[in-house]
Amino acid sequence: MNKKIKEFLEKDKLEIPLLVKDCKNGVTTKNSPYLSLVLADSSGMIDGKYWDVKPEQQLLFEVGKVLIISFEVIKYNENLQLKVFKAEEAPEGSYNLEDFIVTSDISKEDRQERLDYFFDSIQNNTYKVLVKGLLEKVGNKFLEYPAASKIHHSFVGGLSEHSISMAEMCEKVCEHYPQLNRDLLISGALIHDIGKTLEMSGAVTTEYTLDGKLEGHISIANGWLTAVSEELGLQDKEECILLHHMILSHHGHLEFGSPVLPQLQEAEVLCLIDNLDARLNTLKTALDATKSGGWTTKLFALDNRQFYKPKGEEE
């Protein structure tokens, strides 16, 4: 059995199959070509560098491809990284793709059950049919897609895990602050990121589509809500307008991609919960890959900060 990424140790020299999650071409100051890589298996992802790469080797590295890669594990800025020596095609039938895919820790069945619970709990019929229409529009993609390509919940099932986690937190917040409209908040939590099923290319080889790059998931979801509401004749209902606002404002700041700022108390709560859930998932992933008494890598999504993992915490 091949060693998993989470088991790698400094100075390991291995030749094993890994999935190419990301690949970028670069050139050194001495004009030598290299590749910056993100490689993966079912236990996680790791950065890699392929220095002085030859043209024929460059052509092998396609996102979503499994390659047999020869490398050494090195430490760079206190974090493990791969120094790649060579790569070759993995023979067809020599591997199972499932061995290279990070999936949600929560089973698809459990996520479906929680989704059904929150959908059934919506009392306002306008919110209920609008959420139903959006969920039916994307079908099983809602349970399969990641919530991002790299930053948070970037694994199979990540979109639904993130959305349901937010709905669970929204429920608790509504218990503490009864002035909040629970139906609006739960509806917003379930569908705020639904446009990511078009923004990204898929659950395994997650890249941004042309629609994703030119429109973004906020605009996509807002357009879908317009279409669904017009099909149902609900476009002029106040609930529909409020749900549009939940989608449009959930990033909280204009510079973060929201065309409007939160102007409903439920929109303010949704933005805060979205940010909290994303940040804690980013931290969990980073800390899971960090030894007790050590520091995480610099986390771009968290202001390029490093976080300490206390010695008393289990790895």
- CATH class of the region 108-283: mainly alpha
What is the structure's pLDDT at 156?
83
- H helical segments located in 122-181: 125-138, 141-144, 158-176
- Residue 313 — very low, low, confident or very high, per pLDDT cuts 50/70/90? low
Give the three-class secondary structure for 147.
coil
Interval 263-275: pLDDT, tens: 999 999 999 999 9
What is the structure's pLDDT at 150?
67
Interval 109-139: pLDDT, tens: 999 999 999 999 999 999 999 999 999 999 9
Interval 12-48: pLDDT, tens: 999 999 999 889 999 999 999 999 998 988 888 899 9
Give the three-class secondary structure for 284.
helix
Quote the DSSP letter at residue 306. -
User: What is the reported pTM?
Assistant: 0.82
Any idea how long the chain is?
Answer: 315
Q: CA-to-CA distance for 167 and 182, rounded, in angstroms?
A: 10
Tokens (6 digits) for 158: 């990540």
Mean pLDDT of 142-149: 84
Handedness of CA 272, 255, 212, 50 (dihedral sign): negative
Express the helix, strand and coil content of the chain in percent, nearest 5 each. Answer: 45, 20, 35
- Residue 64 — very low, low, confident or very high, per pLDDT cuts 50/70/90? confident
Task: Kindly provide the b/e burial profile for residues 40-58, where b requires at least 16 CB atoms within 10 angstroms of the residue's own CB.
Answer: bbbbbbbebbbeebeeebe
Domain 5-100 belongs in CATH node 3.40.50.1370 = no
What is the structure's pLDDT at 80?
87
What is the structure's pLDDT at 192?
96
What is the structure's pLDDT at 205?
67
Mean pLDDT of 151-155: 73
What is the structure's pLDDT at 285?
84
Judge contact between 189 and 172, C-beta under 8 A. Answer: no
What is the structure's pLDDT at 314?
58
- Domain assignments of the chain as residue spans, ordered by start: 5-100, 108-283
Quote the DSSP letter at residue 77. T
- Residue 176 — very low, low, confident or very high, per pLDDT cuts 50/70/90? very high
Between strands 79-89 and 44-51, the pairing is parallel
